[in-house]
Chain A
Amino acid sequence: MDLWRYEVRRAGWAALLTPPVATAALVLVALLDGGADTDRTTARNLIAALEMAMPLAAGVGAASLVGRDPAVELQLTVPTSYRSTLLRRLVVTLGWAALLAVLVVAGLAATGWWERWPGTHGVVAGQLVWLSPTLCLGGLGFLAGAAFRGPAAAGGLITTLWLLDQVLASALQEQYWQRLLYLFATTRGAVPGDWAANRFTLLVAALAFGAVAWLLLGRGERLLRGEAE
């Protein structure tokens, strides 16, 4: 337990505050700045806070995990492997985002907003609204951090992919494989029959990203070279 508490402290306030702040910003915009929006649009925007803000915050947080230890050579000499330590930090980062997401879903369900958007899939299956894209971008962020060995480049990649999914929302619906990998299938108009396959594909992609990152992080000398540059 002490170890996990230490990892939470090690994550820092920024990593812990970014998911709630990002989600709260979108929730507030949806509730306070609706303009001429109908209830249905407001409900969609609230669910979009889960599907869009949470994955971005978790992905950027996961991308910042590698390269934050000033004395990585010491981490590599302790009996616990460094990639296990990084994996624990990833669990802390994604777990915190997941806890917040569940609380937001509970809040939306309790206030009736969850049911007002016809694209939702019940409270239990609907957890995939945020879970699949969050794990996918989190896993990709972790992999990008392992590959680039620095948060700036990895965070830039995650943010750019998120941006492309936003700007090219219509274009990414044309091909079946694009629809399977699209991050915002719930709130940005995916073909209804593809939703479950899309969520499943994103989960599989997350596992694949995590596995490749695990392999990359097994080569400790890469991390040392990264620090020396």
Chain B
Amino acid sequence: MNEHILEYATGALDDTARAEVDAHLAGCAPCRADVAAWRALGDVRADPAPPGPELVHQVLLRSALGGPPLATRRPAWFSLALLRAEARLVRPAVPIASALVMALGVALAAGQGQAGQILAFVAPVVAALGIAGLYGPRRDPAFELVAATPTAPGLILLTRIALVFGYDLVLALAASGVLAVLGADPGGLVAIVDAWLGPMALLSALSLVLAVWFSADVAAGVAVVLWSLRVLAGGFLDDTGWLLGAVRVVWATNAGTVLAAAALTALAVFLIGRGEPIRRHGATYPS
């Protein structure tokens, strides 16, 4: 009989069924209580009246008198905690391979009297390829979660730059120090660092913008193509004309290179989080 109680209470039953329910209700107190409960629930007149304009007035008044909400400040250790959290996400293969590649290049070149040149060619491209895979769906399988996190995407990006580029920077500085102590390059420490610092910053910054704007693949491809031209301009194609001469000037350590690298990094931080996730490869669907 329970299945008919609601229909009985709302008057939806036909005469025969209603008569059957009436007969049942006469001898069943729980079902009578159910019918009464359903009818009370359906009685719109029993609902409380909606709030009037005085409620809106009170809310606005309280808001005006209460002042702005208190700003929530992150604790001082937040940046350090974020750095530690992001460091756990770096695959061990990346720093290990970077160190191995750098060591391989320096070890092979140390006996050739070209150690500074080798380091100048190896350090920028190793850093740029590491930066290319810094952010995006390939780096973060659940990228939609990263994009929705309360921590600003730009802050996450800067933290990862500090980790990956900082690691490569320390690695290259250490390699330069070792080569300078061994006397493998006649120019000394300053000349060795001067040879790779500007190109490493500029190529990494360019790779970063392309990774944020397009994808890690595009960033890696462009970095490799540009850097291979630079390497060829310094050796195999040494006798060619103005274009490769300009390539050698661009990939050097000077104020222009450093400014360009800073501007490109700022552009990447500006661009991050501004694109719709669906425009990113694999953000919401495998393409």
Contact = CB atoms under 8 A, between A and B. Distances in A.
Contacts of A17: 221
Contacts, number: 170
B224 A57 contact: yes
Given A156-B98, A156-B130, A166-B232, A71 B286 contact: yes
A194 to B, nearest CB: 19
Contacts of A22: 224-225, 228
A162 interface: yes
B145 to A, nearest CB: 13
Contacts of A33: 240-244
B70 interface: no
A227 B225 contact: no
Nearest to B125: A159
Interface in A1-27: 9, 12-15, 17-18, 21-22, 25-26
B239 A37 contact: yes
Contact of A160 (B94, B104, B221, B286): B104
A210 interface: no
Given A56-B224, A167-B121, A29 B112 contact: no
A26 B31 CA distance: 90
The secondary-structure label for the interface of chain B is: helix
B141 A168 contact: no
A109 interface: no
Contact of B220 (A9, A14, A21, A171): A14
B132 interface: yes
A19 to B, nearest CB: 9
A70 B137 contact: yes
Nearest to B220: A155
A152 B211 CA distance: 12
A22 to B, nearest CB: 5
B227 interface: yes
A163 B108 contact: no
A15 B220 CA distance: 10
Given A150-B94, A157-B97, 20 more contacts: A12-B217, A25-B225, A30-B237, A33-B242, A35-B242, A36-B241, A48-B236, A70-B141, A71-B141, A149-B93, A151-B217, A151-B220, A152-B132, A153-B97, A153-B98, A160-B101, A166-B231, A169-B235, A171-B112, A187-B236
Interface of A: 9, 12-15, 17-18, 21-22, 25-26, 29-30, 32-37, 41, 45, 48, 52-53, 56-57, 60, 64, 67-68, 70-71, 148-157, 159-160, 162-164, 166-169, 171, 187-188, 226-227, 229
For the complex of A and B, the 4 pairs showing the least CB-CB separation, nearest first, are A153-B97, A14-B217, A35-B241, A33-B243
